[in-house]
Amino acid sequence: MDPLGLLYAAIGMLVYPGGVYLTGLAGVSAWTAGLPRGPASIRAEAWAAIIAAVLAAVLAPMAGSPVAALPPDRGVAPNLVAAAMLLAAACALATHQRWSTRRLAAALGLGVPWLALAVGAASIQLPVIAGVPGTTLAAARWCTAAATLIAAPLVTQPFDAGVALGPRAVMLGALMLMALSIALAGTVTSGSAPLEALVVIAAGALYALLLRLLQRAVVVEHAALVVSCLACAGAATLLALLAARG
């Protein structure tokens, strides 16, 4: 990695869209959703989960992201594979509950549409996936965002008081950031980094409020949530594949 790439990666991790910004998003969301505090101490694996989630958030295609602005040959690759591996590692490290069938189905609904988007955009680079024009692919991105937001609480278990609040909030925040950044791509907000940053915080707060209202359904992994997630994932996959053919 060249010095410029290293500097941009550091800014992305420590300030925006990771670090300070992700912490703010996670904090607002945790407070609005009324997430339980859980244990005061954070285990070593939970710290590793936080780091993985922050690194994944750095790769989000947010407007003005220093990492997204760098071309791949400058040593930083904000690609889908890296983000997916980091988020999967974070979930595996921070959540200690066994994975039920419904939770696994939600994880499938979370991952498949992102892979379909990569096929539709003919790239695994997140800035490219977010930036490819076209109504069909834009609709696929919105459906992918919806599937991600529905699956996120089922996968991360944010109301599990047996896990410290920090890793739960950061994981949820990272998934929200990925979903909202891909949904807002190509809209009026994507032309202004401050505007998009504020919109994501506001949308995250509204989403967290909805989670608060649906807390019981999230905790019991209600079938309606899983079906909704899979429906959005199916629509996103179909639209992305249609875009690839076009």
Read off the pLDDT of residues 19-62 as tens digits, 9 standing for 90 and up.
889 999 999 999 999 999 999 888 899 999 999 999 999 889 88
Residue 76 has pLDDT above 70, yes or no: no
For 140-180, the pLDDT digits (tens) are 999 999 999 999 999 999 999 999 999 999 999 999 999 99
Residue 10 has pLDDT above 80, yes or no: no
pLDDT confidence of residue 71? 56
Find all residues with CB under 8 Å of 116, minimum gap 6, and list them. Answer: 140, 144, 236, 237, 240, 241
- Give the number of other Cβ atoms within 10 Å of residue 194's Cβ: 10
The boundaries of the domain holding residue 101 are 3-244
pLDDT confidence of residue 53? 94
Mean pLDDT of 65-80: 65
8-17, 138-147, 163-172, 210-219: which has the minimum mean pLDDT? 8-17
Residue 75 has pLDDT above 50, yes or no: no
Closest CA to 156 of 108, 105, 68, 96: 96
Higher-pLDDT residue of 9 and 61 is 61
Mean pLDDT of 82-101: 88
Phi and psi dihedrals of 79, rounded to 5?
Answer: -105, 160
pLDDT confidence of residue 216? 97
Mean pLDDT of 64-91: 76
pTM of the model: 0.92
Tally of CA atoms within 13 A in the half-sphere of 83 that contains its CB: 28
Q: How many domains does the chain have?
A: 1
The answer to whether residues 158 and 172 touch, using CB atoms and an 8 Å cutoff, is yes
Is 52 strand, coil or helix?
A: helix
Torsional class of 243: left (φ above 0), alpha (ψ -120 to 50), beta (otherwise): alpha
